Amino acid sequence: MNKKTIPTNTVTRDLCDIAAPTGNIYESVVILSKRANQIAIAEKKELTRKLEDFKNDRDTMEEVFENREQIEISKYYEKQPKPALVAISEFEAGEIYYRMAKKEEEE
């Protein structure tokens, strides 16, 4: 998904629109929460991988220095839309696959 189409700030949404795909607002919120967690974990792994190049085993408080490229990478990730906003955008566009676990009938 193109992250440029996702707003980077809070947008007021109609709860009926969010509840419509599942028929239940709580189920929709759980789906959004799980997808936002997946996105956050993926972004964290990607950022950690990119910052590994700058890791120095000899770093102490006196030896820490500014690295422009490292700062730019960090700023890029700070400017990205929040995982919850990405999840909501994907959910509204019908891009999230989900399934409900079958409820066992009580006998």
pLDDT range class, residue 107, cuts 50, 70, 90: very low
Residue 97 lies in a domain: no
Residue 4 lies in a domain: no
Question: Per residue in 30-44, pLDDT tens?
Answer: 999 999 999 999 999
The set of long-range contacts for 24-33, using a CB threshold of 8 Å and a minimum separation of 24, is: 27/100, 28/91, 31/91, 31/96, 31/98, 32/84, 32/87, 32/88, 32/91, 33/87
Residues 6+ apart with CB under 8 A from 60: none
Residue 52 lies in a domain: yes
Residue 104 lies in a domain: no
Average confidence (pLDDT) over 66-78: 82
Its pTM surpasses 0.85: no
Residue 106 lies in a domain: no
Residue 103 lies in a domain: no
Give the residue numbers spanning the domain of 40: 12-92
Number of structural domains in the chain:
1
Question: Per residue in 76-93, pLDDT tens?
Answer: 888 888 999 999 999 988
Q: How far apart are CA 15 and CA 58, in angstroms?
A: 52
